[in-house]
Amino acid sequence: MKCAINRRAQFSASHRYWLPELSEAQNQQRFGECARAPGHGHNYVLYVSMAGDLDEYGMVLNLSDVKHVIKREVTAQLDFSYLNEVWSEFQETLPTTENLARVIWQRLAPYIPLVRIQLYEHPELWADYLGNGMEAFLTTSTHFSAAHRLALPDLSYEENCEIYGKCARPHGHGHNYHLEVTVKGEIDPRTGMTVELGALMKVIEDHIVEPFDHTFLNKDIPYFAKVVPTAENIAVYIREVLRQPIRELGVELYKIKLIESPNNSCEVYCTDALTDTVPQPQQEPVLASM
């Protein structure tokens, strides 16, 4: 019987985005604050996913053995290190989140049956690598606050209440929405990036956060004058708005996840098959005090 297992690890390290063939001004223009000397640091959270058949002891692998492999091959070497210098791979390609995930895969693959590396640089930025050459997934998250009312205009108040419950009340209600945007692309062999993060965040800010934040969606966003702004419909709308601007950055929009409340969230993909998905994180990363 096939089964997937996951192991969590963490390490603290610093890095700098800097290409010696570029001038100081060019590096700052391309990488922003990440080009500052001598660098900056993160508490990285790593999820290693493996798969295989259950053995006679009811295990895919002995997680104690997995723990020692991850420590020996990755965290003992990276913890409290300067990433640009610790591994030879980062002499050619910068230690971005997505490239670091790729190289960690390469370091672990000879020892354990990997299916995914997921690496959090911080709770609002992470990468998934599935072993497909230079292809990687990068996710960034943001938030906006908005109000909405769930009601179909052709139905009575009583009928809407039967469908939407309290959400049909005439003056609406609000949420602090949490938005996750996942893009898919090839890691640049020199910069280590699938996409320039600043440009991606600007697209999301300009097209979604700024127009949506502190609005009443039914009244302030024309699309929702006729479409009920459920979390699902909002996510679909965000997907369609972002698809082309993100493509113009050289990557493809892969997934939108909208968290309406701690109890409710939805996901929509830019692929037809929901089975073609990036495995989800095991939990929100918890950063240990150092």
Report the run of H or E that residue 117 belongs to, with start and end. Answer: strand 114-122
Instruction: Tell me if residue 173 is catalytic.
Output: no
CATH number at residue 50: 3.30.479.10
Catalytically annotated residue among 34, 42, 260, 270: 260
Residue 287 falls within a domain, yes or no?
Answer: no
Same domain, 140 and 246: yes
Q: 142: which residues sit within 8 A by CB, 6+ positions away? A: 124, 178, 179, 181, 201, 204, 205, 209
Return the DSSP state at 27.
H
Q: Work out the percent of the chain whose per-residue pLDDT is above 90.
A: 90
Q: Give me the amino acid identity at 191.
A: T
- The residues that bridge with 175 in the sheet, in sequence order, are 146
Q: How far is CA 289 from CA 12, 46, 48, 142, 238, in A?
A: 11, 16, 21, 24, 36
Q: Give me the amino acid identity at 263.
A: N
Which of 104, 133, 162 is the endpoint of a domain? 133
Q: 267: which residues sit within 8 A by CB, 6+ positions away? A: 235, 255, 256, 257, 258
Catalytically annotated residue among 167, 178, 252, 266: 167
- Burial class from Cβ neighbours inside 10 Å (0-12, 13-18, 19+) for residue 284 reads exposed
Report the run of H or E that residue 158 belongs to, with start and end. Answer: helix 157-164
Residue 290 falls within a domain, yes or no?
Answer: no
Residue 285 falls within a domain, yes or no?
Answer: no
Same domain, 87 and 163: no
Same domain, 114 and 187: no
Same domain, 190 and 156: yes
Q: Say what the pLDDT of residue 272 is.
A: 54
Is residue 275 scored above 60 in pLDDT?
no
Tokens of 47: 């999820």
Q: What is the pLDDT of residues 41-51, one digit of tens each?
A: 999 999 999 99
Angle at CA 12, nearest 5°, toward 26 and 64? Answer: 135
Is residue 286 scored above 90 in pLDDT?
no
Asked if 59 and 51 count as a contact pair (C-beta separation under 8 A), the reply is: no
Q: Say what the pLDDT of residue 2 is.
A: 85
Is residue 283 scored above 80 in pLDDT?
no
Asked if 108 and 114 count as a contact pair (C-beta separation under 8 A), the reply is: yes
d(CA 261, CA 230): 12
Q: What is the mean pLDDT of residues 262-272?
A: 90
Same domain, 19 and 73: yes
Same domain, 112 and 82: yes
Q: What is the mean pLDDT of residues 257-270?
A: 96
Q: Say what the pLDDT of residue 214 is.
A: 98
Residue 59 falls within a domain, yes or no?
Answer: yes
Query: How high does pLDDT run on average in the chain?
Result: 93
Is residue 27 scored above 90 in pLDDT?
yes
Q: What is the pLDDT of residues 204-250, one digit of tens each?
A: 999 999 999 999 999 999 999 999 999 999 999 999 999 999 999 99
Is residue 170 scored above 60 in pLDDT?
yes
Is residue 287 scored above 90 in pLDDT?
no
Tokens of 270: 């830019």
Q: What is the mean pLDDT of residues 148-174?
A: 96
Residue 129 falls within a domain, yes or no?
Answer: yes
d(CA 77, CA 99): 16
Same domain, 228 and 272: yes
Residue 267 falls within a domain, yes or no?
Answer: yes
Which of 84, 117, 133 is the endpoint of a domain? 133
**What is the DSSP track for 245-261?**
HHHTTTSEEEEEEEEEE
Q: What is the mean pLDDT of residues 81-96?
A: 96
Q: How far is CA 157 from CA 161, 164, 278, in A?
A: 6, 10, 40
Instruction: Tell me if residue 260 is catalytic.
Output: yes
Same domain, 193 and 80: no
Q: Work out the percent of the chain whose per-residue pLDDT is above 70.
A: 93
Into how many domains does the chain fold?
2
User: Contacts for 116-120 with beta carbons within 8 Å, 24 or more apart?
Assistant: 116/47, 116/48, 116/49, 116/278, 116/279, 117/46, 117/47, 117/48, 117/49, 118/46, 118/47, 118/49, 118/279, 118/281, 119/44, 119/45, 119/46, 119/47, 120/44, 120/45, 120/46, 120/281, 120/285
Same domain, 123 and 184: no
Same domain, 106 and 163: no
Same domain, 105 and 234: no
Q: How confident is the model at residue 281 (pLDDT cuts 50, 70, 90)?
A: very low
Q: Say what the pLDDT of residue 245 is.
A: 98
Range of the domain at 102: 1-133
- The residues that bridge with 177 in the sheet, in sequence order, are 144
Same domain, 225 and 237: yes
Q: Give me the amino acid identity at 66.
A: V
d(CA 201, CA 211): 14
Q: Say what the pLDDT of residue 271 is.
A: 75
Q: What is the pLDDT of residues 65-76, one digit of tens each?
A: 999 999 999 999
Instruction: Tell me if residue 167 is catalytic.
Output: yes
d(CA 92, CA 199): 23
Which of 133, 166, 191 is the endpoint of a domain? 133
Q: How confident is the model at residue 279 (pLDDT cuts 50, 70, 90)?
A: very low
